[in-house]
Amino acid sequence: MYYSKKSISHFMKGAKALIFAVVNDDFIKERISVFNFDEARLNECLDIYNKAEEAESDKSKEFGEQLESKVISDKLIEEADKIYRLQTEFLRLGLFYNIEKQRKLFLIGQPRTRKVMEWLKHALELYNRVLADEEAVNSVSVYGITKENLEVGRKKVLDAEAAKIKHTEERGEAQDATDLRDTAFESDLGTLI
């Protein structure tokens, strides 16, 4: 396969100009017919170009959806992290003298992780444990954090987790579209050369 230093969009523009110039110009058609580029072969080139253009368009669409889902995911994770940090600080403060309860509720003693999905699972488990523990809920009520506030925090974590999963799916779809586009270019253009 021929690998160009040009971008695919630049290559597509050049191919479009070349193919449509040949298809619409009888003088050029006559000159290249000696190289086995008759009307059928020109139509084949046009079909290959249209398939490649469609594959590039699909890839661009999927890439755009992936970028959009990343922005949404990042925003929701940031919101969940903000409320989580605030509420866990008050939970630690409310349960300051009960270290065993803090460990049981995952407020202390849990390793920090850099992986977002692991953090989301940890935060969700913390909220589940806190919401099931009446003493923990009551310990933060003096700071104005109610059970409903804690449920809002849990919901933010669930929303962030769903958005992260959606982003992962979109990223996979974008990669699949890129692979399909690359395959279309390699197999179809190889038949012309």
How many folded domains does the chain comprise?
1
Whether residue 74 is contained in a domain is answered as: yes
Whether residue 171 is contained in a domain is answered as: yes
Whether residue 115 is contained in a domain is answered as: yes
Whether residue 3 is contained in a domain is answered as: no
Q: What are phi and psi of 95, to 5 degrees?
A: -110, 30
CA 73 to CA 124: how far, in whole Å?
16
The total of other beta-carbon atoms located within 10 Å of residue 137's CB is: 18
CA 174 to CA 9: how far, in whole Å?
17
Whether residue 68 is contained in a domain is answered as: yes
Q: Model confidence at 190, in pLDDT bands (50, 70, 90)?
A: low
The closest of 97, 99, 161 to 128, measured between CA atoms, is 161
Residue 6, pLDDT > 70, answer: no
- State the pLDDT at residue 1: 45
| 3-class secondary-structure state, position 24 | coil
Q: Radius of gyration of the chain from Cα atoms?
A: 29
- State the pLDDT at residue 39: 84
Task: Give the whole-number percent of the chain exceeding pLDDT 90.
Answer: 58
> Which residues span the domain enclosing 41?
8-192
Whether residue 142 is contained in a domain is answered as: yes
Residue bearing the bigger pLDDT, 149 or 185: 149
The model carries a pTM of: 0.80
Q: Model confidence at 111, in pLDDT bands (50, 70, 90)?
A: low
Mean pLDDT of 155-183: 94
Whether residue 84 is contained in a domain is answered as: yes
Digit-coded pLDDT (tens) for 12-64: 787 788 888 888 888 888 888 888 888 888 888 888 888 888 888 899 999 99
- State the pLDDT at residue 23: 81
Whether residue 167 is contained in a domain is answered as: yes
